Amino acid sequence: MKKGNETMRTITWNDEKQVIEMIDQRILPQEFKINQYDHYKGVADAITTMVIRGAPAIGAAAAYGMAMAAFNSDAKTREALIADLETAGDYLNNARPTAVNLAWAVRRMMKAAKEFSGTADELRQHLLALSKAIADEDVEINKKMAAYGAELIEDGDHIVHHCNTGALATVDWGTALGVIRMAHEQGKKIHVFVDETRPRLQGARLTAWELAQYGIPYDLITDSSSGYLMRRGMVQKVIFGADRVAANGDVANKIGSYMLALAAYDNGIPAYSTFPISTVDFDLDRGELIPIEERDDEEVLALSLMGQKVTPEGATARNFAFDVTPNRLISGWITEMGVIYPPFFENLQSAMKA
């Protein structure tokens, strides 16, 4: 991602200090801060508290967390180290339930550990190298998705974007916002309507900040405005990301995505979900089986106006972090294998065999 003229990653391993460094996304854009973590439990807490967020970034954090767990362990043998890694993997997997990239990264690290035949110290270095490779892969995958997705964007398009799917949601570049960024860098004149994305305002805080870094024109809108803009003919594309995708093509994404896709469908506007293939959970047949995280109601109740809390004393709230958009409302998946159209499962299988 870019901060001014500087290029940096959302998450990285600092070899000199032997710590994991993450941009603290809770305090952007008012403050830019790099947090450091020297224990896998701290990494898990960073995922839970949304210091780091976005499915691909969470996957990279889990991989780095597993590498850190290897260095946290005092195990002298490979077998003892693997036992400690399994404990760490369980701990990390409980950080957030919906994003499948977390479990994917933990599984990949554990598989590598179990297949490795060297010493415990050699295994530590092996896992560190793999975690860095996973981070590098994420950047390359994002750029491939962006190139495929940008082909769908036409000069003059006005695009509705939900939540934050840019460099901050990945190791670098981004998924859905990466598509928009690529189209902009190709010289296409585009405009983005940025959903605020309540209650944590990832659109208003993070996406708007990223678009400003790239010089992409945008307007912030309330989440409930998108349908009105579509009805007036002011929108040509809808693009959002994904945190978990069922095998049939149902997409779990930030709460509000389902309503956005419904409005797009009713107005004949294509709605695309952008994600790496690692976000597809082949073990889940349909979206109803995806576990949906429900967060603290205080995120909703803390709403204030002019510094004064607006909710009445004793009010309660429900705070679902994600919803599921049925596959029938999705025009296509933008992936590193290209744009995949319905029927999703059959066409994904064909793409993977190609």
Instruction: Indicate which residues carry an active-site annotation.
Output: 243
Q: At what angle do helices 55-72 and 100-115 cross, to 10 degrees?
A: 40
Task: Please provide the distance, in angstroms rounded to a whole number, between the alpha carbons at the two ends of the chain.
Answer: 32
Provide the Cα torsion 237, 270, 150, 281; round to 10°: 120
Radius of gyration of the chain measured on its C-alpha atoms: 20
Q: Is the peptide bond before 326 cis (omega within 30 degrees of 0)?
A: no
Count of CA atoms in the C-beta half-sphere (13 A) of 179: 33
State residue 310 phi and psi, 5-degree precision: -100, -15
Q: Strand 34-37 to strand 191-195: parallel, antiparallel, or no bridges (unpaired)? A: unpaired
3-state SS assignment for residue 331? coil
Contact 25, 7 (CB under 8 A): no
Count of CA atoms in the C-beta half-sphere (13 A) of 168: 28
Task: Give which of 8, 13, 56 is closest to 28, Cα–Cα.
Answer: 8
CA dist 258 and 252 (Å) reads 9
CA dist 123 and 68 (Å) reads 12
Contact 230, 260 (CB under 8 A): no
Contact 142, 178 (CB under 8 A): yes
CA dist 43 and 36 (Å) reads 9
Q: Is the peptide bond before 199 cis (omega within 30 degrees of 0)?
A: yes
Structure tokens at 131: 């975690």
Task: Give which of 274, 285, 203 is closest to 243, Cα–Cα.
Answer: 274
Structure tokens at 310: 């607006």
